[in-house]
Amino acid sequence: MMTERKLFLWMTLAMLGWGASWPIAKILSSYITEHELVTYRYVLTTITMLPILFWMKLPFRIELKNLVLAVISGVLLIFYTKLFFLGTKYGTAGLAGALVTTLMPIIVYVLMLFSRKRKPQIKDWLALVLGVTGVFTMIKVWTFEVGQIFNVSNVYLLWAALCWALMSITASYTKSIHPVVLSFYIYLFATLIDYLIFFNPTSGSIFEMDQTFWLGFVFLAVGSTTFATTVYFSGVQRLGSKKGSVFTFLVPFFAIGLSIIMLDEFLELTTVIGVVMTIASLMILNKISLDFLKNKPSKN
């Protein structure tokens, strides 16, 4: 069986794949439009997930309730992908990746507060304040006039984070379905709905695109989506949700680092400080400890 050390390595590679999606999206934005990206990306993702489902021996059967939730999640995924794509197109990929990936779980937590009977403790409110302060630090809110805070890039990224948060909450209501199977149906419905309603190819045939496009596109569809999603959910099954979620804290750092390497973006100290603050906030809110990383790896 796979040791925890090897599992940690695979989980880290999956987070590297998610982090790479931000600078790659920035590169692809000069080739195709947002809805072309949605359709092309998720049709390839859906196809490449088929052999994984067979390899994992997972059934395609899905209950009606889960099917409806998968359709809703697919619609939200369309808008998330469109907004994240536009946010990177009109802003910097590193900041976009850091901002959205740290803001999403904070929004989920706030939205879930409305469905809880138990009121949050004072430390939870302080953690939320810390998280919001971290987000403001990332965008250097003190340098903006009021109108600049809501510039086009920031607005796209804020809406992207909200769409992903709503999709996460919607998916959490599914029952008795493997997360990889659910992901397959979400990608399938995102592809079909976007193609039937929004798809309007204006960038020419993708088969005439150059090598840079194809390397980025295939990695985004397969590496950042099929591979990363499958490894993450498999890892969460082995480690549990709390331990597994710790690895997602690597995503903003990978997004920042890869944007510097691939796009020559400048590393802002405020971005790093803001990311650390929001991650600390999330760890407090979710009662996450890093102690398990110190344990001696053992075979499961």
**Count of domains observed in the chain:** 1
Question: CA 126 to CA 284: how far, in whole Å?
Answer: 9
Question: CA 118 to CA 74: how far, in whole Å?
Answer: 31
**The pLDDT of residue 183 is above 90:** yes
User: 185, 180, 219: which is closest to 13 by C-alpha?
Assistant: 219
User: In the predicted model, what is the mean pLDDT of residues 172-177?
Assistant: 88
Helix (H, G, I), strand (E, B) or coil at 94: helix
Domain annotation covers residue 41: yes
Regarding predicted confidence, which is higher, 201 or 220? 220
* Owning domain of residue 65: 21-211+245-294
List beta partners, residue 299: 3
For residue 240, the model assigns a pLDDT of 74
Domain annotation covers residue 224: no
Domain annotation covers residue 267: yes
User: In the predicted model, what is the mean pLDDT of residues 148-152?
Assistant: 64
User: In the predicted model, what is the mean pLDDT of residues 167-179?
Assistant: 89
Question: CA 5 to CA 298: how far, in whole Å?
Answer: 8
The string of pLDDT tens digits covering residues 152-167 is 777 888 899 999 989 9
Helix (H, G, I), strand (E, B) or coil at 266: coil
- Amino acid identity of residue 13, one-letter, is L
Domain annotation covers residue 286: yes
The string of pLDDT tens digits covering residues 110-147 is 887 776 655 667 777 788 888 888 877 886 766 665 55
Question: CA 94 to CA 269: how far, in whole Å?
Answer: 12
Query: At which residue do the structure tokens 């407090």 appear?
Result: 284
Domain annotation covers residue 204: yes
For residue 148, the model assigns a pLDDT of 55
The string of pLDDT tens digits covering residues 38-86 is 999 999 999 999 999 999 999 999 999 999 999 999 999 999 999 999 9
Q: Are 124 and 285 in contact (CB under 8 A)?
A: yes
Q: Are 20 and 224 in contact (CB under 8 A)?
A: yes
Query: What is the C-alpha R_g of the chain?
Result: 19
Domain annotation covers residue 66: yes
User: In the predicted model, what is the mean pLDDT of residues 257-265?
Assistant: 89
User: In the predicted model, what is the mean pLDDT of residues 219-243?
Assistant: 86
Would you say how long the chain is, in residues?
300
Domain annotation covers residue 143: yes
CA distances 216 to 24, 121, 192, 225, 275, Å, are 6, 45, 22, 12, 26
Q: Are 215 and 104 in contact (CB under 8 A)?
A: no
Q: Are 19 and 275 in contact (CB under 8 A)?
A: no
Query: At which residue do the structure tokens 């510039």 appear?
Result: 151
Q: In the 8-state DSSP scheme, what is residue 3?
A: B
Phi-psi region of 33 (alpha: psi -120 to 50; beta: other; left: phi over 0): beta
- Amino acid identity of residue 70, one-letter, is A
Domain annotation covers residue 10: no
Question: CA 229 to CA 100: how far, in whole Å?
Answer: 17
Question: What pTM, to 2 d.p., does this model score?
Answer: 0.84
The angle that helices 228-239 and 179-193 make with each other, rounded to 10 degrees, is 150
Q: Are 231 and 16 in contact (CB under 8 A)?
A: no
Nearest-5° Cα angle at 251, 268 to 292? 120
- Quickly state the pLDDT bin for 214 (edges 50, 70, 90): very high
User: 137, 162, 141, 163: which is closest to 150 by C-alpha?
Assistant: 141
Q: Are 239 and 7 in contact (CB under 8 A)?
A: yes
- Quickly state the pLDDT bin for 247 (edges 50, 70, 90): confident
Return mean pLDDT, the chain: 85
The string of pLDDT tens digits covering residues 7-44 is 888 989 999 999 999 999 999 999 999 999 999 999 99
For residue 287, the model assigns a pLDDT of 72
Question: CA 184 to CA 52: how far, in whole Å?
Answer: 10
For residue 299, the model assigns a pLDDT of 44
CA distances 278 to 21, 130, 131, 272, Å, are 21, 7, 4, 10
